């Protein structure tokens, strides 16, 4: 059976990569402006190479949604040195205090929209923050494990939009 939304069989689902940003400098006055540390950049680079080797041999992801905070945009920039994104969008709702169920609903709606280039979405990454990334994986997988995400970790979810449900395939926690 084909899933017209993704171009994949409904058995395959869509690969979602839920990622926390790399290590950031300590909180000063402005949480939004915190930058990645050198350690954080290294964490993200290793995570990107792991993701490419394990799940993205074509070195491309269809869509990346990025929090507007500086450290997540820097995380995306570092990932982009290894994996190219067909499309990237800054998403105001995926901040540390974002609501996981609302983000889940947004992802469902977004997965139904055709891309401007006419290509179906088969992979999507969210680059965000704790605790949202943890709650989002619970919402997507309809579980209540509230996994902790170390910096630059990635949860890989096989997601079926027509069922509004996914299955956690792997949770990379760094090396």
The pLDDT tens digits of the residues spanning 28-42 come to 778 999 999 999 999
The model carries a pTM of: 0.91
Residue range 99-150, pLDDT digits in tens: 999 999 999 999 987 677 778 889 999 999 999 999 999 999 999 887 899 9
DSSP 36: B
In whole angstroms, give the CA distance from residue 121 to residue 139: 20
Q: How far is CA 33 from the centre of its chain?
A: 20
In whole angstroms, give the CA distance from residue 27 to residue 24: 8
Residue 70 has pLDDT above 70, yes or no: yes
Average pLDDT, the chain: 90
Segment 1-4 long-range contacts (CB within 8 Å, at least 24 positions apart): 3/160, 3/161, 3/162
For the chain, percent of residues with pLDDT exceeding 90: 80
How sure is the predictor about 18, in pLDDT bands with cuts at 50, 70 and 90? very high
Q: Considering only 30-34, 42-46, 56-60, which range has the smallest mean pLDDT?
A: 30-34
The beta strand positions in the chain, using DSSP E, are: 14-20, 60-66, 84-90, 123-128, 154-160, 165-172
DSSP string spanning 71-90?
A: HHHHHHHHHHTTSEEEEEEE
Residue 69 has pLDDT above 60, yes or no: yes
pLDDT confidence of residue 11: 59
Of 78, 6, 76, the closest CA to residue 42 belongs to 78
Domain parsing of the chain, residue ranges: 14-22+33-124+131-172
Asked if residues 155 and 125 have their Cβ atoms less than 8 Å apart, the reply is: no
- Helix axis angle, 38-54 to 70-80, nearest 10°: 50
How sure is the predictor about 51, in pLDDT bands with cuts at 50, 70 and 90? very high
In whole angstroms, give the CA distance from residue 166 to residue 142: 8
Superfamily of domain covering 14-22+33-124+131-172:
Phosphoglycerate mutase-like (3.40.50.1240)
Cis peptide before 34 (omega within 30 of 0): no
């Amino acid at each position: 059976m084909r899933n017209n939304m993704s171009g994949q069989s409904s058995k395959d689902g869509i690969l979602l990569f839920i990622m926390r940003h790399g290590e950031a400098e300590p909180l000063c006055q402005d949480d939004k402006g915190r930058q990645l540390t050198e350690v954080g950049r290294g964490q993200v680079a290793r995570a990107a190479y792991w993701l490419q080797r394990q799940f993205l041999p074509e070195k491309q992801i269809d869509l990346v949604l990025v929090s507007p905070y500086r450290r997540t945009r820097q995380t995306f920039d570092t990932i982009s040195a290894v994996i190219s994104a067909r499309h990237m969008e800054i998403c105001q709702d995926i901040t540390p205090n974002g609501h996981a169920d609302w983000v889940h609903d947004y992802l469902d709606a977004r997965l139904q929209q055709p891309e401007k280039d006419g290509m179906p979405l088969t992979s999507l990454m969210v680059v965000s923050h704790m605790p949202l990334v943890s709650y989002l994986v619970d919402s997507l997988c309809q579980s209540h494990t509230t996994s902790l995400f170390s910096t630059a970790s990635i949860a890989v979810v096989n997601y079926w939009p027509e069922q509004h449900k996914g299955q956690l395939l792997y949770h990379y926690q760094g090396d």
